[in-house]
A and B are shown apart, each in its own frame.
Chain A
Amino acid sequence: MVEEVRDKARELLSAGTVECVIGYERATDGITARPLFAYSPEEADRFILDRTCVHNLARYLLDRKGKPTAVVVKPCDSRTINLLVHENQIERDKVFAIGVTCPGVVEAHWGETTEGLQSRCGSCPLEVPVVYDHLITVPGERQPRTGFPELEKLEAMSPQERLEFWQQQFQRCIRCYACRQVCPGCYCPICFVDQLDPMWVGIKIAPPENQVWHLIRAFHLAGRCIECGECQRVCPVNIPLMLLNQKLTAEVEGMFDFRPGLDAETLPPFATFRKEELEAER
């Protein structure tokens, strides 16, 4: 399985099919994984593939626009390719997708990994990537689908309790924007939050301003979030950002029967409408 990744990478780089293969290598902590950009067949020996390979590498395709690139994609990551093709950010024919099937990934932070899988894997609708040019099958039982249990827990609370929950979360936000930097859907040249004219969000790092940031960040991903969970993984203060995304994922699926990135053609919810809909939801 690991060898298959290395072989494919070597082959693509030797033949000149791509200039770069993006995959995973072992981080210097010896436990977790980190991205590897291989430009030569020799570098391909360093690729690894296991349950610590949590990163969504397809995000890096945004930095390699127009350049033939191969990328290792898990099922969730593969939805990125459809999203970015649909949104005219990358060209499909410049991407060689090395798809890997996925039984789920673990929580991996510097120097430590968990035994159990990430909670978001429970709501993942896929086992096989939606886009690939070469498929590698990873053995292992996929964990049973759990839906969005944490989401349901929060939804069961009263508005006041939810308010308090989120106020506590937003209070801790240091507005480092790591969640945005890592997000494959956040590719605007100048993010609204960085704009000074007009200034949409005050620069004060306080709950009211932070809330505007988090609400709009989430809303800008409504009908677009491909559930890779990277925003939450990189948050230095552990704000459960995926809850906001999952809330909208569930609403979008319920209202419009749409889940982003499963193909590159279906119009996302904000690009279309039906005349007879939603009068009850108003």
Chain B
Amino acid sequence: MVKVGVFLCHCGRNISEVVDVPRVAEAVRHLPGVTYVDENKYMCSEPGQAAIRQAITEHGLTRVVVASCSPRMHEITFRRAAAQAGLNPYLVEMANLREHCSWVHADDHEAATLKAIELVKKAVARISYNEPLTPQPIPMTRRALVIGGGIAGIQAALDIAAAGHQVTLVERESTIGGRMAQLDKTFPTLDCSSCILTPKMVEVAQNPNIELLTYSEVESVSGFVGSFEVQIRKRATLVDHVKCTGCGICWEKCPEKVPSEFDLARGKRSSIYIPFPQAVPVKPVVDQVHCRYIKYQEFEASGAEGKKPPQCRICEKLCPPQALAWDQEDEAVTEKFGAIVVATGYDPFDPTVYGEFGYGQYPDVITGLELERLLSASGPTEGHVLRPSDGTPPKTVVFLSCIGSRDEERGKAYCSQICCMYMAKHAIVLKEHDPEVQSYIFYIDNRAVGKGYEEFSRRAQEDAGAVYLRGRVAKVFPQDGKLVVMGEDSLIGRQVEIAADMVVLAAAVVPSRGADEVARMLNISYDSDHFLVEAHPKLRPVETHTDGVFLAGACVSPCDVPQSVSRGSAAAAKTLALLSKETLVGEPTTAVVDALRCSGCQLCLEVCPFNAISTQVVAGRTVASVNEGLCKGCGLCSAVCRPAAIGVKGSTHKQLLAEVASLWT
């Protein structure tokens, strides 16, 4: 005979303001199996939990229903409380009276109360079919994978390595460093970005606990927390990086110069190249699209007629250690990891959708990130800010904020967080470069909410003399060698026209290309803007709904350097909590076969996404059999099983049927 205790939470006034909790208590008191009913202002508080523990002990409760918030919020809390009182934690169920009732039916207290009664009845009906479950131990592979070698991924890898664990850092570019490496200075301290980043990059290369795989991409992921099997493709660099000393002769002498991706096509690089001088590793790769010798080989192989391209091979002739490896091929390696940190970063929004600003049309309309490259001493202009059109130094620079941000129609609904501050930074740095520069900043709201940010913003206005104009720009067009910016100063309600030498667009932050593919491989979700979704936006900001997968940096939402570093360290801390264990406690909610009912049709084998089902012979009959280590409890098998021979623990036929049967009775 089950003895069900029902614990009704007021959640402060979150529930009780809408739902008549005492009336619910009265209505469920006499339900079959219910032997104890209690109310509490905060069931999740320590006194609330103590009340549950005490009732279990004193009243010999064998089942506990907590009617409070979403089980996604506090199921673990109440299971733990029950376990402390000696009750199997899986004998606890929750009725969601807050998210699914009081918060959404606030306008109809009567309906909400009646619904609350039914939700509790449903949980009581279900719980008599709950069975005590015992988790299975999962072995832990004590190695971590970090995907993405920007500042967030670097920080995560360094922290994991510092704790003495092995970590593999995978980066698809030929160097780590990410977006931060492209920056000239960082706000609000105006530290030189590479000066603070480079030491960390070098530390990654030198740390014996870190395996660095650049020019590599994750191709597939299988398995689960503790034992992810990850296939990584190392792209062919056509350079033997063991032999290569990074002397630089090849990229200096290579005659085929092409636009540099790192400099956002504002500068050139060779076809055998490192993206920037401080690259880690300092080993070049051959760009197989542009290399003359590759083109020559392709021409030969195609058997086409006509003039042959030059064979070139200058790099090979000049390379002291003879490191060129023309026949190198992509290599796929499969490695096992216990946990994974995703730090895939961001891309700048493409501002060409705003045709009225002329980006891509007028050369002196550039993005903020492009300005960083012009400001950088290692950039294409060696730190001299010059107009792309005529190479003259700009004296009047106009900044346009929220290009793609806070614009649901043509861009993204969200705020990109970093733009207000980097516009202030640009105004300050431009003034330092050339005291004659006058900056105008068109802003919507000036958001300066970090430590030292407001002060920094003031500095841009007071010391660097930047003129802040609140309003949107309607149009940018060229006139007499200048760019005329037509906008509105909405504070004084007047049209403004500025003849600028250069216009800088604060392009929005969007998730990095391919981040959604990584998410799919890892079974984690992303939102409509393709930012990866954390397990809880407030309380589990770096965890995901896939155990053992954590998020760092701007793949979650736009963030600046300090926040990326914090998220990297936070993801590392979560990873380390896993790696510090030899075994994990798995979810016991796996599928189980009733061999007597199984018809042996093997449809379940076909639909199982985890290959967790095989067959075995029981009493002369071939029937399905579940490997609990591989089973994730999705229940696909259960839904296709005609004789209902496979059930999922925690979501059994009896439990679900009891819930359905309890409705409207």
A residues at B contact (CB < 8 Å): 87-89, 187-192, 195, 197-198, 200, 220, 267, 270-272
Q: Is the CB of A87 within 8 A of B602?
A: yes
Tell me the smallest distance from the CB of A214 to a CB of chain B, in Å. Answer: 15
Find chain A residues with CB under 8 A from B644 CB.
Answer: 192, 195, 200
B residues at A contact (CB < 8 Å): 596-603, 606-607, 622, 640, 642-644, 653-654, 657-658
Find chain B residues with CB under 8 A from A200 CB.
Answer: 644, 653, 657
Q: Is the CB of B607 within 8 A of A271?
A: yes
Nearest B residue to A272 by beta-carbon distance?
A: B606
Find chain A residues with CB under 8 A from B596 CB.
Answer: 189-190
Residue pairs across A and B with CB atoms within 8 Å: the count is: 48
Cβ contact of A267, chosen from B597, B599, B606, B642, cutoff 8 A: B606
Cβ contact of B643, chosen from A192, A198, A270, cutoff 8 A: A192
Find chain A residues with CB under 8 A from B607 CB.
Answer: 270-271
Q: Is the CB of B653 within 8 A of A198?
A: yes
Q: List 11 A-B contacts (CB under 8 A).
A: A87-B602, A89-B600, A188-B599, A192-B642, A195-B643, A198-B653, A198-B657, A200-B653, A270-B603, A271-B603, A271-B640
Given the contacts A195-B644, A198-B654, A220-B642, A190 and B606 also touching, CB distance less than 8 Å? no
Cβ-closest 5 pairs across A and B: A188-B643, A271-B606, A87-B601, A198-B654, A188-B599
Tell me the smallest distance from the CB of B125 to a CB of chain A, in Å. Answer: 12
Find chain B residues with CB under 8 A from A88 CB.
Answer: 600-602, 622
Q: Could you tell me the distance between the alpha carbons of A107 and B368 in the complex, rounded to whole angstroms?
A: 82
Q: Could you tell me the distance between the alpha carbons of A190 and B644 in the complex, rounded to whole angstroms?
A: 9
Q: Could you tell me the distance between the alpha carbons of A192 and B601 in the complex, rounded to whole angstroms?
A: 15
Find chain A residues with CB under 8 A from B654 CB.
Answer: 197-198
Known: A88-B601, A88-B602, A198-B654; 20 extra A-B contacts, CB below 8 A, are A87-B601, A87-B603, A89-B600, A89-B601, A188-B597, A188-B642, A189-B596, A190-B643, A192-B642, A192-B643, A192-B644, A195-B643, A198-B657, A198-B658, A220-B642, A270-B603, A270-B640, A271-B606, A271-B607, A271-B640
Find chain A residues with CB under 8 A from B597 CB.
Answer: 188-190, 195
Q: Could you tell me the distance between the alpha carbons of A190 and B642 in the complex, rounded to whole angstroms?
A: 10
Tell me the smallest distance from the CB of A95 to a CB of chain B, in Å. Answer: 17
Find chain B residues with CB under 8 A from A271 CB.
Answer: 603, 606-607, 640
Nearest A residue to B598 by beta-carbon distance?
A: A189
Q: Could you tell me the distance between the alpha carbons of A270 and B597 in the complex, rounded to whole angstroms?
A: 20
Nearest B residue to A271 by beta-carbon distance?
A: B606
Find chain B residues with CB under 8 A from A190 CB.
Answer: 596-597, 643
Tell me the smallest distance from the CB of B458 to a CB of chain A, in Å. Answer: 53
Residue of A88, A189, A200 most packed against chain B (CB within 10 A)? A189
Cβ contact of B599, chosen from A187, A195, A197, A270, cutoff 8 A: A187
Nearest B residue to A84 by beta-carbon distance?
A: B601
Q: Could you tell me the distance between the alpha carbons of A89 and B642 in the complex, rounded to whole angstroms?
A: 15
Tell me the smallest distance from the CB of A66 to a CB of chain B, in Å. Answer: 10
Tell me the smallest distance from the CB of A93 to a CB of chain B, in Å. Answer: 16
Find chain A residues with CB under 8 A from B640 CB.
Answer: 270-271
Find chain B residues with CB under 8 A from A188 CB.
Answer: 597, 599, 642-643
Q: Could you tell me the distance between the alpha carbons of A187 and B596 in the complex, rounded to whole angstroms?
A: 13
Nearest A residue to B600 by beta-carbon distance?
A: A88
Q: Could you tell me the distance between the alpha carbons of A13 and B444 in the complex, rounded to whole angstroms?
A: 92
Find chain B residues with CB under 8 A from A87 CB.
Answer: 601-603
Find chain A residues with CB under 8 A from B603 CB.
Answer: 87, 270-271
Tell me the smallest distance from the CB of A251 to a CB of chain B, in Å. Answer: 17
Tell me the smallest distance from the CB of A223 to a CB of chain B, in Å. Answer: 10
Tell me the smallest distance from the CB of B289 to a CB of chain A, in Å. Answer: 31
Q: Could you tell me the distance between the alpha carbons of A271 and B602 in the complex, rounded to whole angstroms?
A: 10
Tell me the smallest distance from the CB of A70 to a CB of chain B, in Å. Answer: 24
